[in-house]
Amino acid sequence: MFRGKKILITGGTGSLGTALTSRLLNEGVDTIRIFSRNENKQITMESKFKDDRLRFLLGDIRDYSRLVRAMEDIDIVFHAAALKHVPIIEYNPFEAIKTNVIGSQNVIDACLEENIPKAVAVGTDKAVSPLNTYGATKLLMEKLFVTASNYLQKDRHQTNFVALRYGNVLGSSGSVIPKFIEQIKNKEKITITDPSMTRFSITMDEALDFILKATEISKGSEIFIPKLQAYSISGIKDALFDLLGNTGSDIIGIREGEKMNEVLLNREEIRYSWEYENMYMVLNPLSKNNVPIDEYSNATKVDSMDEYSSDSVKKFSIEEMKKIITNSKLLTK
């Protein structure tokens, strides 16, 4: 579905945006417009890719008119731009609302104005029953997206707005494994919040497979969630000490706004949830446009699950963690 298509990625210079760009170029897209604020990141990305199908647009998703201009003739919008660092957002909540909520609303409005066929928003497990401001802003982003399929475009058609949710991308900017690796390489003790804390884990390649698959099967108003395994912080510590040597650890305690375990599907959502072999799909009970479920081939109803949380799913063994970390090439970066 991507061959020959014109794509816009908000946040295209970020960890996900860069990896998605690479994958979409291999899928034979016509053009990718990268939309973000920092010119230096764009210059670095441009010289890394050297591909004339890429266009770099400076812009802020807080600026609606800039988004409208950027979306001219686009077929698919991937909305990945966000503020995402939990402690920074706790301290600067107004800024997160402007980017993650109002910016997302601007993306939706611009899609409707420019008659975009499909728009996919990238979300997080932290949006489920949120405890911190980041999660709350991403919950609102999801809500805006799954409801927006009800609205008509300027040409009276509909945009298929879709939301995705997944857990920590291994090695993405600001994530815990690169931080621990740096501490160990510097012969420092690693700083652990709580050894029994668990998190869903997804590699960048798995996240890309999931994003492209969900984009293909979506018809509008759904939330898609991949089926994932999880790790505990003590599991990561043991795997990294085995790989790099034991420099010791300090327990610094759970931070403001953090949960011990993350949830990808809460109890209430199970009622509206369907599953595929590798993912779940939550249908929006308030959508006016839900297509009949038999049009989603191979989706079966989820009925025997309580909650899909990182403490309830299978954990990676230490050996599996070591293999994942080694394959991710994070040790050599």
Ligand X SMILES: NC(=O)c1ccc[n+]([C@@H]2O[C@H](COP(=O)([O-])OP(=O)(O)OC[C@H]3O[C@@H](n4cnc5c(N)ncnc54)[C@H](OP(=O)(O)O)[C@@H]3O)[C@@H](O)[C@H]2O)c1
| CB nearer to ligand X: pick between 124 and 273 | 124
Residue 118 CB, nearest approach to ligand X (Å): 17
Does 126 qualify as catalytic in the annotation? yes
Residue 248 CB, nearest approach to ligand X (Å): 27
When asked if residue 21 is in the footprint of ligand X (CB under 6 A), the reply is: no
Pick the catalytic residue from 5, 84, 126, 237.
126
When asked if residue 62 is in the footprint of ligand X (CB under 6 A), the reply is: yes
Residue 9 CB, nearest approach to ligand X (Å): 8
**Per the structure block, which two tokens stand in for 287?**
């959508």
When asked if residue 36 is in the footprint of ligand X (CB under 6 A), the reply is: yes
When asked if residue 13 is in the footprint of ligand X (CB under 6 A), the reply is: yes
* Candidates 8-16, 110-118, 191-199, 305-313; binding stretch for ligand X (CB under 6 A): 8-16
Phi-psi category of residue 205: left, alpha or beta, with phi > 0 → left and psi -120 to 50 → alpha: alpha
Residue pair 135/128 in contact by the 8 Å Cβ criterion: yes
Q: Residue 93: exposed, middle, or buried by beta-carbon count in 10 A (0-12, 13-18, 19+)?
A: middle
For the chain, report the end-to-end CA distance as a whole number of angstroms. 34
| CB nearer to ligand X: pick between 81 and 162 | 81
# of chain residues touching ligand X (CB under 6 A): 30
Site residues (CB under 6 A) for ligand X, limited to 137-176: 138, 166, 168-169, 172-173, 175
When asked if residue 103 is in the footprint of ligand X (CB under 6 A), the reply is: yes
Kindly report the three-state secondary structure assignment for every residue of 305-329.
CCCEECCCCCECCHHHHHHHHHHCC
**Given the DSSP bridges, would you call strands 273-275 and 279-282 parallel, antiparallel or unpaired?**
antiparallel
**Residue 82 carries which DSSP code?**
-
Instruction: Give phi and psi for 42, each to the nearest 5.
Output: -70, -40
| CB nearer to ligand X: pick between 227 and 290 | 227
Answer for which of 80, 214, 265, 281 binds ligand X (CB under 6 A) is: 80
Nearest to 202 by CA among 276, 96, 125: 125
| CB nearer to ligand X: pick between 169 and 184 | 169
| CB nearer to ligand X: pick between 115 and 172 | 172
Residue 245 CB, nearest approach to ligand X (Å): 26
Residue 138 CB, nearest approach to ligand X (Å): 6
Answer for which of 21, 99, 218, 284 binds ligand X (CB under 6 A) is: 99
Other Cβ atoms within 10 Å of 62 Cβ, number: 15
| CB nearer to ligand X: pick between 10 and 158 | 10
Residue 77 CB, nearest approach to ligand X (Å): 13
* Candidates 79-87, 88-96, 106-114, 323-331; binding stretch for ligand X (CB under 6 A): 79-87
Using a CB cutoff of 8 Å and minimum separation of 24, what contacts does 319-327 make? 321/231, 321/235, 321/236, 321/238, 321/239, 322/239, 322/242, 322/243, 324/170, 324/201, 324/203, 325/170, 325/177, 325/239, 325/240, 325/243, 326/243, 327/203
Instruction: Give phi and psi for 82, each to the nearest 5.
Output: -165, 160
Residues 6+ apart with CB under 8 A from 319: none
Name the closest residue to ligand X (Cβ). 14
Contacting residues toward ligand X, per CB under 6 A: 10-11, 13-17, 36-38, 41, 60-62, 80-84, 99, 103, 122, 124, 138, 166, 168-169, 172-173, 175
State the catalytic residues.
126
